[in-house]
Structure formats: structure tokens, C-alpha cells
Chains A and B, each alone.
Chain A
Amino acid sequence: MKLTKDLVAASAVPMILSILEGGESYGYAIIQRVKELSGGEIEWTDGMLYPVLHRLEQQGCIRSSWGVSETGRKRKYYVLEKPGRAVLKDQKEQWLLVQATLTRLWGAQHA
């Protein structure tokens, strides 16, 4: 299923922050996690994840550090920071509200 550009953009931040809430990760792993959780339905243009990660870091939501991968390559890892947890909490409330409202609407329409 191809999501609209606006929906991909809007959902990227809560998805990234939620994945990082589970622990440190890196760009490629984040993309694979989203594909896995969505059953392959959500596919991001891989490169577009990185500007979002950099913007989140500038905002203080996440923090990066360079490490070494299993193959010995330089790899940039990201962790969730305290402001990011607050943003995630806010995003969760908004998305759950939208989901609940749409569920009631569509449930009512099918009733």
C-alpha cells in the first residue's frame, strides 16, 4: 500500500522515536524495523530518513554517537533523549486520539 507523502512525513517522527524508545539503533535498522512492523506495507525512501534524524537531533530529541559495526565500519547510532520522550508522549496522545475518533466514525458508519 502506498501511503500519501503527508502521511509518511507525519508518521515518521512518532515511529522513529518509538523505535528508539526501545533502545539505541541506527538508520538502516530503523528502516528495517518499520518494514517488519508494517508487514512490508510501509516503505520509506531510505535516504529521507536521515534528514529527519538530523532534524530530531538538532531539536534535542535524540543524540548520536559514532561507533563501529560488526563488520568494522564506522556507524552512527542514535538514542532517545529526555525532550524526545516528551515529544513521543505528546505524539502518542495525538495519534491515539485520531485513531479513536476514526474508529468510532468508521464503526458508526458500518453499524
Chain B
Amino acid sequence: MATQLLGRREVLDELEDHLRDEVDALTRAGHPPDEAARAAMDRLGAPSDLGAEFAKVPPTSAPWLPVRLAWVGGALLAASMVLPLWPKLAAGGLASLLATHMGLVMLGYVSTLLVGFLAASYLVARLFAGLADGQVRTLQRAGLSLSALAVALTGVGVAFGFIFCPHEKTGWAFGYDTREVGGLVVLVWNLVMLAGCWAGRRSESPAAMMMLGLVGSMAVVLGWLGATAVEHRLHGAPADFATVAAVVSAQLAVACLAFAPAGCLRRAGA
């Protein structure tokens, strides 16, 4: 029955509670424990019949606030990062291919960071009441969609940097600028993240998918802010490694929440 109800953790929990109530009642009535357990399983019905009935009632997605925040906040963040490029482009201060490259890569990074945001939200939520089955499905769909968006945007953006921007007389990958190499590393991780999200899109727990997302957001911080700091240092300018270290440390601290027992902060009776 557990196989037939894979991904329906709440259903299994509910049926287990029912079985335990039935076994308790039969035991109180004088039945030996193993006889009570057998009788309770018989009364529950054949697992194949139960699985077939539940297959007719597929779990629906349920709204989860962090996913809504990710889409709305992400759109606003993306607009705030990309729109300032437009006046520079219009004034002729920014080459069109370069602007396209920068805009696409930034949007790809935002998508990756949003998967990291969902991962952090999930790791915090699991310490409390956790997510309902429907909310897990919403989270898995959002993780998959954002990963695909991250791959597409970062991929096309990096391609612009490596293939088309040499036409801007900057050389291949802007002379192998650290930030371009960082972008390539982020793209590779985004592909790994997308593969993981696709493989885990129907699994019972989104934990593995979310850890990939959290590592992806660390890759963005290192590949973007970290690479920028390295580039500044290489050119003798002040480099802010402290901010990079602080952000990555905070992300690692959030990742450590995965080792805490689920529900450890749940209120008694909730």
C-alpha cells in the first residue's frame, strides 16, 4: 500500500492512525495483539483497492506563501535589476549585445536565487508544522519551473558572453573575465539543479531538490559577488570579500537546518 500511495505521506499517516485506533479497540475487547492487527488490516480493505480509489482522487496543489512571494518578489527584483540597463542602452552607453548578456545572466541568477529562497523557506517550515502534501507539490513545481528558467536565461546569457560579445571587441568571454567564468560555473550547477528537480518532481520529500537549490544560490553568490571581488582585486581595486563570506556563511547555516529533526519546533497540540 505504501508503494501505491507513494508521495501521499499524509494519507499514509491518516491510515496508520486509523489502524492503531482499530487495533487498540480490538485489543481492549480481548483480542490478542497480532490477531487484532490482522483483523484491522482486513477491515481497512485490500491495498490494491485502496490505492485504486486514491488514484481517482489525486492530490491537488495547495498555495504556499513563499512560492507566491518568490514569483512576485522575483519579478520585482528582476525588473529593478534589468530596467536600469535600458536608459544606458538607449543613450548608447551600453552595447546591445553586452546589455542583453548582462540582463539575461542577471535574470538567470535571480531565478537561481529564488530556488535558494524556496529552499531556505522549506528548511525553516519543516522545523514547525511542515508542509501539507498539496503544498509540497506546489513547491516541487515552482522549483522545477524556476530551475528551467535559470538554465534558459543563464545559458543564453552566457552564450552571448562567450559567442557574440567578442564582436564588441572585448575578446572571447571578455578576455576570460572572472565573472564570465563564474557565470559558466553557475550554468553548470543550474543544469545539475534542473536534472535533480526533474528527477524528484514526484518524490515524497522535496528535501533533495531544495538542497540543490540552496547550493545553487551559493554558486550564484560566489560566481557573481565573489567573482566581482576577485576581478576588482586583480585590477588593484578594493574588493569586498567580507560580504561574500557573510552571505555564504548565512546560506551554510540555513543548510545545517536540514540536520535538525523535522517538527522539533512544532507547538504541542498543533
Give the CA-CA distance A55 to B55 in the complex, in Å.
11
A and B contact pairs by CB, cutoff 8 A, 14 listed: A27-B14, A45-B43, A45-B45, A46-B43, A47-B49, A47-B50, A48-B45, A50-B50, A51-B50, A54-B54, A58-B60, A69-B17, A76-B13, A76-B14
Residues of A contacting B253 with CB < 8 Å? none
Main secondary structure of the interface of B (DSSP, over half): helix
Contact at A54–B11, with CB atoms within 8 Å?
yes
A48 partner, pick from B10, B53, B129, B269, beta carbons under 8 A: B53
Tell me, in angstroms, the Cα distance from A27 to B53 when the chains sit together: 16
Q: For residue B131, give the distance in angstroms from its CB to the closest CB of chain A.
A: 12
Task: List residues of B (219-270) whose CB comes within 8 Å of A's CBs.
Answer: 268-270
Contacts of A45 in B (CB 8 A): 43-45, 49
Task: Write out, one digit per residue, whether chain A residues 76-105 have a CB within 8 A of any chain B CB (1) or not (0).
Answer: 100000000000000000000000000000
- The docked-state distance in angstroms from the alpha carbon of A74 to that of B269 is 9
In the assembly, what is the distance between CA of A50 and CA of B18, in Å? 10
Q: A45 to B44: give the CA distance in the assembly, Å.
A: 6
A50/B14 in contact, CB under 8 A: yes
Question: B residues within 8 A CB of A48?
Answer: 45, 49-50, 53
Contact of B44 among A46, A55, A75 (CB under 8 A): A46
Name the A residues within 8 Å of B20 (CB-CB). Answer: 71, 73
Please count how many residues in chain B sit with their CB below 8 Å of the partner chain's CB atoms: 25
Q: C-beta contact mask, B42-80 vs A, less than 8 Å → 1, else 0?
A: 011100011001101100100000000000000000000
Interface string of B183-225 (1 = CB under 8 A from A): 0000000000000000000000000000000000000000000
Complex interface: chain B residues within 8 A of A73 (CB) = 17, 20
| Number of residues on chain A facing chain B (CB within 8 A) | 21
Assess whether A28 is in contact with B17, with CB atoms less than 8 Å apart. yes
CA distance A69 to B15 in the complex (A): 14
Knowing A66-B129, A76-B13, the reply to whether A51 touches B18 (Cβ < 8 A) is no
B270: A residues at CB distance < 8 A: 67-68
A73 — nearest CB in chain B belongs to which residue?
A: B17
Q: A53's closest neighbor in chain B, by CB?
A: B14
Q: How far is the CA of A26 from the CA of B18 in the complex (A)?
A: 9
Within the complex, what minimum Cβ distance (angstroms) separates A68 from chain B? 5
A47 touches B44 (CB 8 A): yes
Contact of A28 among B22, B129, B269 (CB under 8 A): B22
User: For residue B43, which residue of chain A has the nearest CB?
Assistant: A46
Residue from the list B10, B49, B268 in contact with A68, Cβ < 8 A: B268
Say yes or no: is B35 at the interface (Cβ < 8 Å to chain A).
no
Contact A74–B22 (Cβ < 8 Å)? no
> Judging by beta carbons under 8 Å apart, are B14 and A55 in contact?
no
Specify which chain B residues have a CB less than 8 angstroms from the CB of A71 in the assembled complex. Answer: 20, 24
Q: Which of B22, B56, B60 sits near A46, CB closer than 8 Å?
A: B22
Q: Is the CB of B11 within 8 A of A50?
A: yes
Tell me, rounded to whole Å, the shortest Cβ–Cβ distance linking B23 to chain A: 11
| A93, B92: Cα distance in complex, Å | 74
Tell me the complex Cα distance, A47–B50, Å.
7
Interface centre among A47, A50, A68 (most CB of B within 10 A): A47
Which residues of A have CB within 8 Å of B60? 58
Within 8 A of B (CB), among A6-39: 26-28
Q: Are B57 and A55 in contact (CB under 8 A)?
A: yes
A76 and B129 contact, CB distance less than 8 A: no
Compute how far the CA of A67 lies from the CA of B14 in the bound complex, rounded to whole angstroms. 11
Question: Which residues of B sit under 8 angstroms from A51, Cβ to Cβ?
Answer: 50, 53-54, 56-57
Docked complex Cα distance between A68 and B263 (Å): 13
